[in-house]
A and B are shown apart, each in its own frame.
Chain A
Amino acid sequence: MSSSTAVSAAPSAAKWKKTLGDGLYTANPITRQILGICSTLAVTNRVDKALVMGAALIFVTGLSNLFLSLLRRLIPNRIRMIAEMAVVSTFVIVIDQFLRGFYWDISRQLGPYVALIITNCIVMGRGEAFALQNPPLLSLLDGAANAAGYAMMLAIVGIFRELLGSGSILGITLLSSAWYVKNQLLVLAPGAFFALGLLIWIFNVINPPVPRETEK
């Protein structure tokens, strides 16, 4: 592949900073690139689920980016999708077995969504777009930064939905049922769509997208 750029000297400090900022904010996977929406909607009805899912994704994206970058000269171009899938699924199996072994309760509640990290567009997208062209440590940072941007959005949506839907955060009651009527809709499926729609709206107002020519 394009290994010519990767042969050059170690990336500059500015590049490190830009990679971090892009992942966390400027090109945030959820609000800007609209990737990995499935799990964002599914696991955010409670904050603890959102946090565990975010941590799992940081682990998987960071390490699979690191390994794909280390292997980037060895993977033939034609079978790279399958190679990416194999690397990603390996790390997903590791994190799934870990959660089952040590945090059975939360693993049961997350259900299939941990396994579905395999098809999470963020992991594949970062591998394809970044790790196959960049040196290992920078790729590790890119994967971790993008996943952290994702985890941050998950936490925001999770806090919003759990606080207004169940009146609590991390199971601690903040809005007493004596005066707050819980909005059950936010815990259910439609609430996820509304919450994420609002979040994308707010972020587009704060940080308007640069119009792309490819867009219709």
Chain B
Amino acid sequence: MNITPVWAIFIGSIFTNNILFASFLGMCSFLVCSNKIDTALGLGSAVVFVMFCTTILNYVLYYYLLVPLKLEFLGFLIFIAVIAAFVQFVEMFVERFSPDLYYALGIFLPLITVNCAILGAALFMVIRKYNFVQSTFYGLGAGLGWALAIVLMAGLREKMGYSNVPTPLRGTGVVMMVAGVIAMAFMGFAGMLNIQ
């Protein structure tokens, strides 16, 4: 049982233990989709929603189905299946009931299945032994933290278009360097609280 208070988990998962800058999860889509703020916002909000819901679903399935049956080693398979199925379901639902939202978010949804931050949130929830309420807030916080990170980076990359970056460093190289500087800023909060 983890005794960290819920508010600390929530704030910590956004800032000090940001899932992207401290745990390096979801780098692939972070690198590819951080060119424009609009795209980043769309993908970010889709990640917040999917991560929040799948963390809850995975918690219920893991602790009420796999643990009683002593099938914990199948956890990975269940997590990834839940994420893939959920994303597919949301895509169909949104397309049917809200075409506007579908055009805003729809194209990002398939990308999310392979976003390792979503699977990572489920795995951290198990490793850190969070209870239900803690997991819920962790899922929400981690999603918000990821969205914050990609929007920040997109803003910087839009400005970076005007700067003279050395040719071999262009693209991924310079994004890594900038991400390193942002990660240092996020770590500045680490003295205040550090979640386990």
Contact = CB atoms under 8 A, between A and B. Distances in A.
B177 to A, nearest CB: 4
B73 A97 contact: yes
A21 B22 CA distance: 33
Contacts of A189: 21-22, 24, 183, 187
B180 A37 contact: no
B148 to A, nearest CB: 16
B79 to A, nearest CB: 8
B152 interface: no
B40 interface: no
B176 A193 contact: yes
A189 B116 CA distance: 18
A97 B175 CA distance: 36
A205 to B, nearest CB: 5
Contact of B177 (A39, A86, A193): A193
Interface stretch (B50-58, B94-102, B120-128): B120-128
A37 B28 contact: yes
A204 interface: yes
B173 A200 contact: yes
Interface string A86-103: 100110110011000000
Given A35-B28, A37-B28, A85-B84, A190 B120 contact: no
Contacts, number: 111
A213 to B, nearest CB: 15
B28 A121 contact: yes
Interface string B1-35: 00000000000000000000111111110010000
Task: Output the residue of B22, B24, B123, B127 with the most chain A CB within 10 A.
Answer: B24
Contacts of A193: 176-177, 179-180, 183
Given A189-B21, A193-B177, A197-B176, A112 B123 contact: yes
A172 B133 CA distance: 44
B120 to A, nearest CB: 6
A190 B183 contact: yes
A134 to B, nearest CB: 22
Contact of B24 (A35, A37, A185): A37
Given A34-B172, A193-B176, A201-B169, A41 B76 contact: no
A111 B23 CA distance: 11
B77 interface: yes
A27 interface: no
Task: Output the residue of B74, B114, B166, B173 with the most chain A CB within 10 A.
Answer: B173
Contacts of A120: 116
Interface of A: 34-35, 37-39, 41-42, 81-82, 85-86, 89-90, 92-93, 96-97, 111-112, 115-116, 118-121, 124, 185, 188-194, 196-197, 200-201, 204-205, 208
Given A81-B113, A193-B179, A197-B173, 13 more contacts: A93-B76, A97-B73, A112-B124, A116-B25, A116-B119, A119-B119, A120-B116, A190-B187, A193-B180, A194-B177, A194-B180, A200-B172, A200-B176
18 contacts: A37-B24, A37-B27, A37-B28, A38-B116, A81-B84, A112-B120, A112-B127, A115-B76, A116-B120, A116-B123, A121-B28, A190-B181, A190-B187, A191-B180, A193-B180, A194-B180, A196-B176, A204-B173
